[in-house]
Amino acid sequence: TYYPLTGMSKEVQQKLIDDHFLFKEGDRFLQAANACRYWPAGRGIYHNDNKTFLVWVNEEDHLRIISMQMGGDLGQVFRRLTSAVNEIEKRIPFSHHDRLGFLTFCPTNLGTTVRASVHIKLPKLAANREKLEEVAGKYNLQVRGTRGEHTEAEGGIYDISNKRRMGLTEFQAVKEIQDGILELIKMEKEM
pLDDT in tens, 77-110: 999 999 999 999 999 999 999 999 999 888 888 9
pLDDT at 55: 95
164 annotated ligand binder = no
Tally of structural domains, the chain: 2
Residues 120 and 90 in one domain: no
Residues 65 and 127 in one domain: no
Residue type at 3 in one-letter notation:
Y
CA angle, 83 as apex, 78 and 86 as ends, to 5°? 120
Identify whether 160 is part of a domain: yes
- Range(s) of the domain holding residue 9: 1-94
> What is the percent of the chain where pLDDT is above 90?
55
111 annotated ligand binder = no
pLDDT at 112: 93
- Flag the least confident range among 34-38, 119-123, 131-135, 177-181: 34-38
Query: What is the value of pTM for the model shown?
Result: 0.84
146 annotated ligand binder = yes
Residues 10 and 90 in one domain: yes
62 annotated ligand binder = no
Most confident of 27-31, 35-39, 116-120, 147-151: 116-120
Which of 94, 122, 153 is the endpoint of a domain?
Answer: 94
119: closest CA among 61, 62, 169, 77? 77
55 annotated ligand binder = no
Query: pLDDT band at residue 160, thresholds of 50, 70 and 90?
Result: very high
Residues 62 and 90 in one domain: yes
145 annotated ligand binder = yes
Residues 15 and 66 in one domain: yes
190 annotated ligand binder = no
Residues 83 and 10 in one domain: yes
pLDDT in tens, 22-81: 887 767 888 888 888 888 899 999 999 999 999 999 988 889 999 999 998 989 999 999
52 annotated ligand binder = no
Which of 46, 64, 94 is the endpoint of a domain?
Answer: 94
DSSP per-residue string spanning 73-84: -HHHHHHHHHHH
Identify whether 104 is part of a domain: no
Which of 94, 123, 138 is the endpoint of a domain?
Answer: 94
CATH code of the domain covering residue 83 = 3.30.590.10
Residues 1 and 84 in one domain: yes
- Return d(Cα 8, Cα 45) in angstroms, integer: 11
28 annotated ligand binder = no
